[in-house]
Chain A
C-alpha cells in the first residue's frame, strides 16, 4: 500500500508544481507523461472545472483513473465528442485552448524543445528519441505553453541538438517572424525551479526556486547563463501533507 502521508517524491513534486499553473474553468491540452499526472491532479484538487484535451482525440472526459496512455479510454471517458487528430490540434490554432503542457528531453535558453535525438550528428546520434508526436503542433499553435522536464546542464543546453518545437526561437520577436501562432512558452518547470522568459530578450529567467535551491545552484544545473530577476527570488510553493 502507498503511504499517503509520505513526503512527495521529486516527480510528485513536479506534478504538483505544474498543477499550480492550471486555472479553473480553462481548456487544457495535455501531453503524455508528467503533464498527464498534473492535469488529473489539478482537476481533482483546485481546478475541478477544467476541460482536458488529448491528441489521440479524447477530450472532456468525466473523472476517472489516471490514463495509461494519451489514447487510454480514460482520456475519452463518456466524452460528448471525440476528435480526429487533425481536428484536435486545430482547436489550438483556432483559439479554443488556453494552455498546453509538454515534456522535453532538452530545452534551450529560448525555450526551444528537442525530443528527436541527442548528439551533434543527425545521422549518428548518441540516442534517437521519440520524435515530435504532438509536441511541435502544440508549441506551434497554443496560446500559452508550459514545458516540463528534468534539469541538468545537458538537458538545459545553450542550443538544443534538434529543434523539434519552436519556443522563442532566437529570442526577441523571432517566433512571430517565423510565422508561429500564440505566445510560445510562458514557463519551464523542473524539480529545482520554475522559469519564465524575459519579456524583451525572451531568454530564460528564474522565477521561483524549490526550497533549498539557490540561484547559484540552479545556474550550475543549467548549460547557459540564466537571467537573474531583480530582487529576492521567491521559493516555489510545495505540497504539504
Chain B
C-alpha cells in the first residue's frame, strides 16, 4: 500500500472508512500543483482547439475535476457532456456545489465525491447520488460546507498553505472531512478553536466564460462564484467561451473578472456551452428541462438513464442540444428572459408551465 503524504484527520478517515488514504493526496498536493504550473506553457501562444481535442488532451482518468459556475449557472455543462462521451474513468469531483457530478455518476465516470451540496434547490434532492451511495457505486472522500470549499480554493489563489476558519466547527462535517483539523488559535491565550482548512488543487478545471482571447484571457460577467480561485489552483485549465474576441477587446473593454491567460491550457469557442444551465447576459434556463431531470430522472435509475441518453449521448454537440430545445426560437426567448431577469429589458411574464410527473408540459417553449 502506498503511504499517504499527509497527516489526515484520523477520526474522519475512520468515519468515512477510507482504507487507503493516498486517494486523498492529489487534492492537497501543493508541490505537484506548483510543479504543474511551472511546467505549463507560459508563452503567449494561440491555445485554441475543439472541445474534443481539449478533453482528450487534458482530462485524464483518475483526475480530481471541479464543478464550475454555480450548479446550473455558467456551468460548463456542454464540456462535461463531452467528458462523458469520451468515457473518462475514476474521476473525483469537488465543487461548491458539486451538483453536476450526477451526470458523471450516471455513466460511471465519477467514483469519488468531495461533497458540499447536490440537488436543485426547490426542485428536489439528488436521487441519482442517493441511489449511487446506497449501491456503493461512489465513495464520499470528504464532507464540506460551501464556504469551506470556497475558502480552500481561495487559500490556493492567495498562495497560502491554508486558512483558519470559524466555519464547520462543532458540526459533523469536521468529523467526516479528512482534510480539516480543529486547532487552537495560536494568538489567543484563552480557549478559541478554529478549523485549519488547507489550500486545495484540483487536477482539471473547465470554466465557461463569456469571452476569451485565443491565449486564454477570459472574461466572466455576473457571479464568478469560486472560479477565479479555481482557475488559479487547478493543475490544468480548459477555458470554454461563448465567443472568442481579440486580445485588445479584453484589454480595453473588459476590466474586472478576468482569468489571466497563463493559467489556461486550452481555449475552446463554445457558444451555448452552459446549456442546460443559464448564462448571465446570454440565456435563461430551460426550466422544464431541470424539472424533468430531477423529477422524472429522479424517480428511477431507468428514467434517469433514458433522460441522460436522450440529452447527453443522443446529441453530438451543443448545437444539436439547442435544436432539441427548440432552436433559434428557444434561444431568442431565453435571451429575452435573462435580459429581463437582469433588469436589462422590459419586465416580462416569468410564469411558465411547470413539469411535474403528473403533467408533462413538454420542455420546449
Contact = CB atoms under 8 A, between A and B. Distances in A.
B15 interface: yes
A178 B120 CA distance: 31
B145 A73 contact: no
Contact of B169 (A78, A116, A166): A166
A33 B341 contact: no
A89 B122 contact: no
A129 interface: yes
Interface in A132-166: 132-137, 140-141, 162-166
Contacts of B15: 122
A82 B169 contact: no
A179 B169 contact: yes
Contacts of B115: 131
A180 B116 contact: no
Interface string B253-290: 00000000000000000000000001010001101000
B166 interface: yes
Given A73-B280, A86-B150, A132 B116 contact: yes
Contact of A179 (B147, B150, B170): B170
Nearest to B185: A179
A110 to B, nearest CB: 11
Contact of A128 (B116, B133, B146): B133
B226 interface: yes
A203 interface: no
Interface in B265-324: 278, 280, 284-285, 287
Given A57-B225, A71-B72, A89-B150, A127 B130 contact: yes
- The residue among B70, B126, B176, B229 with the most chain A CB atoms within 10 A of its own CB is B70
Contact of A93 (B118, B145, B166): B166
B322 to A, nearest CB: 20
- Contact size range, B: 35 or more
Contacts of A174: 170
Nearest to B120: A69
Contacts of A55: 146
Contacts of A56: 70, 73, 223, 225
B168 to A, nearest CB: 6
Interface in B143-180: 143-148, 150-151, 153-154, 166-173, 176
B96 interface: yes
A175 interface: yes
B194 interface: yes
Contact of A84 (B144, B170, B194, B226): B226
Contact of B341 (A73, A132, A175): A73
A126 to B, nearest CB: 9
Interface in A25-72: 32-33, 55-58, 62, 64-66, 68-72
A76 interface: yes
A198 interface: no
Nearest to B149: A85
Nearest to A124: B134
A114 to B, nearest CB: 9
A216 interface: no
The 6 closest A-B pairs by CB, nearest first: A137-B147, A178-B170, A179-B193, A133-B117, A136-B145, A71-B73
Given A131-B117, A131-B118, A179-B170, 11 more contacts: A65-B347, A71-B73, A71-B225, A84-B154, A84-B223, A89-B146, A89-B150, A116-B172, A130-B118, A132-B146, A179-B166
30 contacts: A55-B146, A56-B223, A57-B224, A64-B341, A65-B347, A66-B350, A68-B287, A69-B73, A72-B341, A76-B222, A85-B147, A86-B147, A86-B229, A89-B146, A89-B167, A123-B17, A130-B126, A131-B115, A132-B116, A132-B146, A133-B117, A133-B146, A136-B168, A136-B173, A140-B167, A163-B171, A163-B172, A178-B170, A179-B193, A181-B166
